[in-house]
Amino acid sequence: MFVKTLTFVAAMLVAGAAYANDPAPVSQDDAGKWLDANGDPTYKKEADGTVDYYTWMGYKRYTANCMACHGPDGMGSSFAPPLAKSLQKFDYSTFAGIVASGQQNKWNTAGNSVMPAWGTDLNVMCYMDYIYVYLRARADGAIDRGEPKKPPLNKTAKEAAYSCLGFTN
Ligand code: HEC
């Protein structure tokens, strides 16, 4: 599963797929993840404000793994960019490539600006799509700051993530 994810990321990078930046959810995969017309992960928000499971869990995972540098709710900090803005210019494969391989001195060219590579950290790699859809929703202004309205548990998604993490439950 982990190797598959990496292979997929690498394939996406090589393909450099053209990106129509329309977040509208048009289909769902077997684990209930919403996809846009391009087949990229996207968010879905119900009329009452409830978000899909991936977006909600993405908020949790962003807060656990990225917030220390990138600030609460993707708002940025003095030393790391506001990802709620960055995602307005990055498509899915660009995002996934940066998260897996890191980035240095591009956002801040003054030097010593380092985004770590997370490619071997399952706590990030198993939740790549979750974090992406959360930040995509933030970038589109679809959800406010703070925890989005919690959806019901998606057991299939949860089990897939646990198996990616190597948990036996
Ligand atoms: C130790 C601090 C740190 C952590 C933790 C961190 N980042 Fe970063 N990240 C940075 C810095 C610093 C940059 C800017 C690097 C540069 O100047 O090119 C960056 C840049 C990025 C960029 C490129 C943004 C742009 O506008 O150029 C993305 C995407 C990104 N990070 C995603 C994440 C995600 C997702 C997580 C959590 C899984 C995360 N980062 C965790 C420090 C961090």
Find out whether the beta carbon of 130 lies less than 6 Å from any atom of ligand 1: no
Residue 22 included in any domain: no
Phi, psi (degrees; rounded to nearest 5) at 159: -65, -40
Q: Which atom of ligand 1 is nearest to the CA of 89?
A: 26
Q: How confident is residue 168, by pLDDT bands cut at 50, 70 and 90?
A: confident
Domain range spanning residue 59? 2-11+39-165
Is residue 46 in some structural domain?
yes
- Ligand 1, atom nearest to 104 Cα: 18
The CATH number given to whatever domain includes residue 139 is: 1.10.760.10
C-alpha 42/C-alpha 27 separation (Å) is: 10
Determine if ligand 1 sits within 6 Å of the CB of residue 115.
yes
Asked, for residue 26, whether it belongs to a domain, the answer is no
In a domain, 24, yes or no: no
> Domains in the chain: how many in total?
1
Tell me the average pLDDT across 140-152. 97
Q: How far apart are CA 53 and CA 100, in angstroms?
A: 23
Per residue in 78-104, pLDDT tens?
999 999 999 999 999 999 999 999 999
Mean pLDDT of 98-127: 97
Residue 104 lies in a domain: yes
